[in-house]
Chains A and B, each alone.
Chain A
Amino acid sequence: MELSALIHIVYVLSAITFLLGFKLMGNPESAQRGNLISGAGMAAAVLVTLMDMHVARFDYILFGLLAGTAGGLWLVKNTDPTSPLPALALLNGGAGLAALLVAFAQFYAHPEGQGFAGGLAMCATAVAGTVAFAGSLTVWAGMTKRLIPDKLLVVRKWRYVYLAFSLLILLAGLLFASDPVAPEAYRYFFIFTLLALALGVALALPDSHKNFPAAVSLFNSYSGVAACAAGFILQNPLMIVAGALVGAGGITLRNQMR
């Protein structure tokens, strides 16, 4: 059998384990089993991706797998599972930053690759990832260290702030995607990443003092959207499906918890 066919069959099975996992977690009786099944699907997806023909070297991957496993386990070991929200915010912020790094590295390695659609996907990945990163860390700061001054919360019309940021990001993204090979493209990439950083903090502020679960869930949704958009850069169907599930699920959970 062709290797890429095998990879995609395992991707389909992984997508099923994620869905099954979410379904089983909806019932306290079967929740732990659901989590285990979902985790097995994730591990299988990682294993077959290592066999992808585009993976030509393993030194950095090995470093990442070891350092990430150690870091993740260390963080969980030092977390009281009865109050998991600060750890969840940190982990999710890491996923957002990872998405930004993937978008930038893909752009840096081959900007000419994919034209307008690819450029838009790079912009969406970088922006959603950065919002997830900045927002999660802001919520984390609000939960643990109380670093957020109350005065900042006085802005009454958050909606207009978000709208303004979003329009500016859209403009920079369109300019970027219209010609990702141009020398100015780096400047646009920098601009929309910076704007997304500010938008992430602004999105976190209204919730960061009261409803922590809803705030964490919102930025969890953003990191799902980022993974989904990255799936378009790399044409990876599992990233698109899993990312969209997390994006839609995160925003639904957030609305239910508000």
Chain B
Amino acid sequence: METTILILLIFLLVLAIFLGLEVFAKTPAAVRLPLLSGTNAVSGIIVLGAILTAGLAEKVGHNDLAAGIGGIAVALAVANAVGGYVLTDRLLSIFRKNEDK
């Protein structure tokens, strides 16, 4: 990995960690469960890595088996993202109904 790129990525990492700690610092107790569900959906971002792995070119080195493993990873990650967002939405619509009463 090129050193300049690595350092920029570490820069990004440090800022994102602080931002994450700041954004979640004062969450009211009522929204913690939906937020837990929402962060779970975002961890489906691993799907990008899975796609880049499952799309490895054919017949180069060990790529064929690696791409197959990547395909399983895509399925698991997509399930987490799709399931996560839909579940959060259903959870929040119940929240809203309870508030309307």
Are A and B part of the same complex? yes
User: A residues near B, CB below 8 A?
Assistant: 18-19, 21-23, 25-28, 31-32, 34-36, 38-39, 42, 45-46, 49-50, 52, 54-61, 63-65, 67-69, 71-73, 75-76, 79, 81-82, 84, 87-88, 91-92, 94-95, 97-99, 101-102, 104-106, 108-110, 114-115, 117-118, 129, 213, 216-217, 220, 223-224, 226-228, 230-250, 252-253, 256-257
Contact status B79-A75, CB under 8 Å: yes
**Structural contact, A65 and B57, CB atoms closer than 8 A:** no
Name the interface residues of B26-48: CB closer than 8 Å to any CB of A: 27-48
Residues of A contacting B50 in the complex (Cβ-Cβ under 8 angstroms): 64, 98, 101-102
Tell whether A26 pairs with B27 under 8 Å between CB atoms, given A65-B78, A73-B83, A84-B87: yes
Whether A68 pairs with B57 at a CB distance below 8 angstroms is: no
Which residues of B does A touch, CB under 8 Å? 1, 5-6, 9, 12-13, 16-21, 23-25, 27-58, 61-63, 65-96, 99
Which residues of chain A have C-beta atoms less than 8 A from B34's C-beta? 25, 31, 35
Kindly state the separation between the CA atoms of A84 and B37 in the bound complex, as whole angstroms: 8
Contact B55 A42 (CB under 8 A): no
B42 near A245 with CB under 8 A, answer yes
Given contacts A60-B70, A61-B71, A245-B20, contact A91 B53 (CB under 8 A): no
List the 9 closest pairs (A to B, CB-CB), nearest first. Answer: A64-B74, A68-B78, A248-B20, A60-B71, A72-B83, A55-B55, A244-B16, A109-B66, A72-B79
A23-B23, A39-B85, A231-B49 known; A98-B80 Cβ under 8 A = yes
Q: Are B49 and A236 in contact (CB under 8 A)?
A: yes
How far does the alpha carbon of A62 sit from the alpha carbon of B25 in the complex, in Å?
A: 39
Bound: A65/B71 CA distance, A: 9
Scoring B1, B46, B53, B73 by chain A CB atoms within 10 A of each residue's CB, the highest score goes to B46
Q: Report the nearest B residue to A116, measured CB to CB.
A: B1
Q: Known: A32-B93, A230-B49, A244-B16. Is A109-B86 also a contact (CB below 8 A)? A: no
A11–chain B nearest beta-carbon distance, Å: 9
- Can you offer 18 A-B residue contacts whose CB atoms are under 8 A? A25-B38, A31-B34, A42-B45, A59-B71, A64-B75, A65-B75, A68-B76, A69-B78, A72-B81, A81-B87, A101-B70, A102-B46, A106-B66, A227-B43, A235-B5, A248-B18, A248-B21, A252-B27
Partner of B24, one of A109, A237, A248: A248
List A contacts of B41 (CB < 8 A).
35, 38-39, 42
Indicate if the CB atoms of B66 and A25 lie closer than 8 Å. no
